[in-house]
Chain A
């Protein structure tokens, strides 16, 4: 069974850094793209970017380029989304999904940024 298990909810202050994770199992992790998708409270889905773990090729949405970093460690089947300096507007649910079209999704990681 394919599973994507994301790290737990986070509460952070503006300006802090954060790295959340998405661990894949039940398939060959290296050979499928992993995407990150943001959903702000009460809003729609926003595609942030995607990584191919085998060679770490990464593609970002212009809206998120420079704001976040997507990475992966294929040795432990885990993809990451990180921020260097969080803003209140980063408060959202973040999902990881397998493939360019999301065949499988993580359960989501709620990130709350508040002073």
Chain B
């Protein structure tokens, strides 16, 4: 089973700043099958990025993903007030298709 470790657990930033979230896998994620989700309180998760770097339909272009192998990054270029939420990575390269434990992005 691939274990995904997200860092930091909490990230405190201000609107307009750049956010960099990390997701590290315990073994290589095949074919860059890594997705990123945003979840706000009381809501279902929303897909932002799939295939490590492809933006999902409706995902703003300030969200970008990168990485391969065991190291992946979600970057939010300029934070908007609505971006403060919890972010999860998920690998779907090999079953079980595990999630990371999440990074909470909070307003500084």
Given A35-B97, A45-B99, A95-B45, does the pair A101, B88 have CB atoms closer than 8 Å? no
- A and B contact pairs by CB, cutoff 8 A, 19 listed: A45-B37, A45-B102, A47-B90, A47-B96, A47-B97, A59-B95, A59-B96, A61-B96, A61-B98, A63-B96, A100-B92, A100-B97, A101-B92, A103-B47, A103-B56, A104-B47, A105-B46, A106-B44, A107-B44
Query: A102 in the interface, Cβ–Cβ < 8 Å?
Result: yes
* Band of interface residues on A: 20 to 34
Size bracket of the B interface:
20 to 34
Q: Which residues of B contact A (CB under 8 A)?
A: 1, 33, 35, 37, 39, 44-47, 50, 56-57, 86, 88, 90, 92, 95-102
Interface residues of A (CB under 8 A from B): 35, 37, 44-47, 49-50, 59-63, 95, 97, 100-108
